[in-house]
Amino acid sequence: MDEMQVAQQLGTVLKQQRRARHLTQAQLADGICTQSLISSLEAGRYLPNVVLFAQLCERLDLPMQQALLANYPAITTTQQVTENVIELCNQHAYADLLAYLNHIEPQLPESADLASFYYYRGVARFQSGQPHADAVSDLQLALSYPHLTAAVKLLIVNALGFYYMQSGQLKLGRAYFDQALALIAAAPTFMANQSAVAYQQALCAWQQQQFHQAITQLQAAIAVATDHDSHYMLGDLLVLLAACFDQVHDDAAAAHYRQQGQTLAQLFKTPLYQFSAE
């Protein structure tokens, strides 16, 4: 899903929630921004920055993860299924996610997006400690489906690269990482999931003690996300960047980025992986 589609979907969600709470655009904007900006947001012409987005969600009593569904591929047209999957992803509850996906598999309608289903299950298998081969099998199955959107294909290809890297197949892993970067380069607009790609690739560099490479990747990803007012995984990028600066003994930079990451995590109520400086 590209930036314009994200803006349009977010605008629709904000407008529906504002009307459900019987607020005018001026009432929603009061003390936060201008009424004209609310109009632009609801029309899908503009993406809010992190602080503005959090303030609007708080006033609308709108869980931010519900407003951010655009960053995750939907499995079915039933919103509750997608919301359940996203909630488990955000909680990093991957064993529960795997159990949930296995439970709903027999009930999936013919219209279900099986590529997204197998992508999520591959992620859940890997993150819950299942054999790498099982996770890769699900991801390869997801990749085999026709008519993949660029956004979903990006997630699948990069996850394959990450899992191959984790299993020690570095050459194959880098080949998939290169495919992911090529998809980003070919995309006409920014995709929010570029941050997930950057995080996984930088994490592999961190694990291989290539700290300066990881720093370069992370700083570039943070700059791109910030330029596009995207806060998806921004806290995770910042905390990983802090861990890299720990390893190169730049304590001031590490403290700076760790504080930024933790501030975003508190703002959006999302858990962050805590890296050891050992």
Whether the per-residue pLDDT at 277 is higher than 50: the answer is no
Q: Which of 18, 45, 62 is the last residue of a domain?
A: 62
Position 144 scores a pLDDT of 93
Residue 174 forms part of a structural domain: no
Domain CATH number, residue 270: 1.25.40.10
Averaged pLDDT, 4-23: 78
pTM: 0.71
Q: Which of 39, 62, 85 is where one domain is finished?
A: 62
**Would you say residue 104 lies in a domain?**
no
Positive or negative: CA dihedral 159, 81, 91, 237: positive
Inside any domain, residue 19: yes
* Reported confidence tier of residue 198, pLDDT bands at 50, 70, 90: very high
| φ, ψ at 265 (rounded to 5°) | -60, -40
Whether 159 maps to a domain, the answer reads no
Residue 52 pLDDT: 79
| pLDDT at residue 69, as a whole number | 44
- Give the CATH number, domain containing residue 18: 1.10.260.40
In a domain, 91, yes or no: no
Q: What percent of the chain shows pLDDT beyond 70? A: 87
Range with the lowest mean pLDDT among 6-10, 52-56, 112-116, 117-121?
A: 6-10
Q: What is the mean pLDDT of residues 128-147?
A: 92
Say if 23 falls within a structural domain. yes
In a domain, 218, yes or no: yes
Which range marks the domain in which residue 24 is found? 3-62
Q: What average pLDDT score do residues 84-94 get?
A: 82
Count of domains in the chain?
2
**Is 60 exceeded by the pLDDT of residue 1?**
no
Is position 235 within any domain? yes
Domain boundary among 36, 62, 88: 62
* Tens-digit pLDDT profile for residues 252-265: 999 998 888 877 76
Residue 213, both tokens: 């490479």
- Residue 191 pLDDT class (50, 70, 90 cuts): confident
Question: What angle do helix axes 194-207 and 234-247 make, rounded to 10 degrees?
Answer: 20
Whether the pLDDT of residue 10 is over 60: the answer is yes
How high is the pLDDT of residue 18? 87
